[in-house]
A and B are shown apart, each in its own frame.
Chain A
Amino acid sequence: MNELKIALQSLKMSVRTRMQYRVDSLVATLAVFIRESANIIVIYLALLKFDNINGWNVNEMLFLFSLLFLTYAFVVSLFADLRDFSRMIREGRFDRLMVRPRGLLFQLILNNADLMASAGHGTLGILLFLISAGKVGICWDFATILYYLGAIIGGVLLQGGMFIFFSSLSFYFLETNSLREIFYWNMRKFAGYPISIYHKLIQGLLIYVVPFAFVNYFPAQYLLRKPDLINYNEIYIYIAPLVGIAVYLSSYLFWRVSVRRYYSTGN
């Protein structure tokens, strides 16, 4: 299959590129790992003093975090070009994709993989999962594992969809980094905590606007059933994997409409 060959060739190129800067790649991976660990260290230290946060203990918190990191490891290896899309537009590199006979999103997704970020997030995610998964009282039977995998895939699609959405905004606005900063990066940071602790406004944002709650909170709730679930409609924990698909598809449609603007303005 031709598409697969493109994917393999792109991956081979990404790996070979990184191999040329071995030390730098290693330091970068480590830096990502340490940077992302900061939040974990802080929550760990805080729970030494405060014991729990709205009923969630340390291990449950680590499990909640692990879903964020595991999904992001896939997101950043697939959607790296969409993460840096406004720069791509500014530097005129998007023009190149337009003169190739392939779908634009297809090329963007295959083009580039941020392997260091992926390794950093992935390692941390696996580590947190290993530490916490056995201690939070989940019975890992077939149905649970199936749900868990579905939730991971849904989480990847959901965040990929958000990257596509924010990239589409680059066709309308010159600078979209500040929007991304608030609505992606910060919201993702906030999603590390059980969303029930937040002001209603923030909860609304995390469920209906930038639905990170479906990446980790609701899937974790399906498995953990903490008492604060009572604040939400229980259906949310069952549809969590589907929300990712819905977000991805609607972002894709928005992209299709928005990319037309590039034809009219260029960069």
Chain B
Amino acid sequence: MENIIEIQGVKKYYKIAKREKGTFMALATLFNRKYETKKAVDDISFSIKPGEIVGFIGPNGAGKSTTVKMLSGILYPDAGTIKINGFIPYKQRKQYVKNIGVVFGQKSQLNWDLPLIESFELMKYIYRIPQKQYEENLDLFIQLLDMEDFINQPVRQLSLGQRMRGDIVASLLHSPQIVFLDEPTIGLDVVAKERIREFVRYMNQIRHTTIIFTTHDMQDIEKVCDRLIMIDKGKKVYDGSIQEIKNKYANFKSIELLLEDGSKELKTFDVSVTPMSAVMEQLFSEKKIKDITICESEIEDIIRDIYEGRVVLAQPEAERN
């Protein structure tokens, strides 16, 4: 099948002004300012097929939101190409955004003082949604997200979870083919998160919407996404299925050591390289150990280990070409 999203060697660098400390230096910067370059996104490529649902993760400052901004046509790349749905987003903004929906989890687009329905009505006109389609979508979404109770309350009185549901509906009323969800579960409780995940799955399975989902919550990824793209320091560090990453690192074991002085240490080993017996032998000879716990690596631990540099991920050969 043809790729719906195709991005090739995309880079985005920012120039940041340095701020000096001290009265004299601050005075000096009034006349002469120094800049440094930050590589927010540094040579990223991937492609996504229609109907895929992709989790997009990385630590804070890894370049996630810069990438989402480039995908949604807000920023253009300094180098590389982006082609989505046959459009170059930043060049054909108005045409392109008709068929995408964007949810910024941290920035609501709803009118704070009015009931949700008022903001939805505005969307109807802005996206030129036919009345029939508008009503069908609205009814369906209200039912799926269980929103009848609060549809007529001013947004400022809603809980974060209710507000987020409202934001998602506002971004999807025009039945976009591609949806970018930028941290839609941030700060929500377990029940609210689950409701949003179900809805996202529904949109993907029944409507075949292509979805890119950024989050910090690995549960979101495990329960919703088929595929995972991980970036760190502006570079792609993993791209593949969730199952693959699990299989690949099934051999990784984490060992929590409780030392005699009361301190704790966490070690991760690849038991296919160093057998467990050898690991133990080495540990006991080096340290005074009081207690030891061996843990299976959960996906969350693997990801954390990757972020913190305890595990270096090698890209699968095929991916390099």
A and B touch in the complex (CB under 8 A): yes
What residues make up the interface of A, taking CB atoms closer than 8 Å to B? 2, 5-6, 9-10, 12-13, 16-17, 20, 91-93, 95-96, 98-103, 107, 262-266
B98 touches A101 (CB 8 A): yes
Provide the residues of chain A in CB contact with B126, threshold 8 Å: 6, 100-102, 107
Chain A proximity mask over B65-78: 1 for CB below 8 Å, otherwise 0 = 01001001111101
Of A12, A96, A100, most B-chain CB atoms within 10 Å: A100
* Known A9-B121, A13-B114; contact A99-B102, beta-carbon cutoff 8 A: yes
Using CB atoms, name the residue of chain B closest to A266.
Answer: B75
A101 touches B127 (CB 8 A): yes
Alpha-carbon distance A99/B103, docked complex (angstroms): 10
Pick from B94, B118, B119: contact of A101, CB below 8 A: B94
Closest-CB distance, A192 to chain B (whole angstroms)? 33
Interface presence of B14 (CB below 8 A): yes
B94 touches A103 (CB 8 A): yes
A5 touches B125 (CB 8 A): yes
Provide the residues of chain B in CB contact with A100, threshold 8 Å: 97, 126-127
Using CB atoms, name the residue of chain B closest to A10.
Answer: B122
Pick from A6, A13, A93, A99: contact of B74, CB below 8 A: A99
Provide the residues of chain B in CB contact with A10, threshold 8 Å: 122
Interface presence of B164 (CB below 8 A): no
What residues make up the interface of B, taking CB atoms closer than 8 Å to A? 14, 66, 69, 72-76, 78, 90, 93-95, 97-98, 100, 102, 104, 107, 109, 111, 113-114, 118-119, 121-122, 125-128, 154
Using CB atoms, name the residue of chain A closest to B99.
Answer: A101
Closest-CB distance, B285 to chain A (whole angstroms)? 54
B73 touches A98 (CB 8 A): yes
Using CB atoms, name the residue of chain B closest to A107.
Answer: B126
Pick from B100, B109, B154: contact of A96, CB below 8 A: B109
Alpha-carbon distance A96/B171, docked complex (angstroms): 10
Provide the residues of chain A in CB contact with B76, threshold 8 Å: 263-264
A-B pairs with beta carbons under 8 Å apart, 21 shown:
A5-B125, A6-B125, A16-B114, A17-B113, A20-B154, A91-B107, A92-B104, A95-B104, A95-B107, A96-B104, A96-B107, A99-B72, A99-B102, A101-B127, A103-B94, A263-B74, A264-B75, A264-B76, A265-B14, A266-B69, A266-B74
Alpha-carbon distance A6/B123, docked complex (angstroms): 9
Closest-CB distance, B65 to chain A (whole angstroms)? 9
Q: A12-B118, A99-B102, A266-B69 are in contact. List 13 more A-B contacts (CB 8 A).
A: A2-B128, A16-B113, A91-B107, A93-B107, A96-B104, A98-B73, A98-B74, A98-B97, A100-B126, A101-B95, A101-B97, A262-B74, A263-B74
Using CB atoms, name the residue of chain A closest to B93.
Answer: A98
Alpha-carbon distance A35/B111, docked complex (angstroms): 29
A263 touches B75 (CB 8 A): yes
A-B interface, 6 closest residue pairs, ranked by CB to CB distance from nearest: A101-B98, A17-B113, A6-B125, A99-B102, A263-B76, A5-B125
Using CB atoms, name the residue of chain A closest to B100.
Answer: A99
Of B78, B93, B111, most A-chain CB atoms within 10 Å: B93
Provide the residues of chain B in CB contact with A96, threshold 8 Å: 104, 107, 109
A16 touches B118 (CB 8 A): yes
Closest-CB distance, B120 to chain A (whole angstroms)? 10
Alpha-carbon distance A174/B181, docked complex (angstroms): 28
Alpha-carbon distance A2/B128, docked complex (angstroms): 7
Provide the residues of chain B in CB contact with A263, threshold 8 Å: 74-76, 90
Using CB atoms, name the residue of chain B closest to A174.
Answer: B17
Of B74, B98, B121, most A-chain CB atoms within 10 Å: B74
A17 touches B114 (CB 8 A): yes
Alpha-carbon distance A107/B122, docked complex (angstroms): 11
Pick from A9, A20, A265: contact of B122, CB below 8 A: A9
Closest-CB distance, A261 to chain B (whole angstroms)? 11
A13 touches B118 (CB 8 A): yes
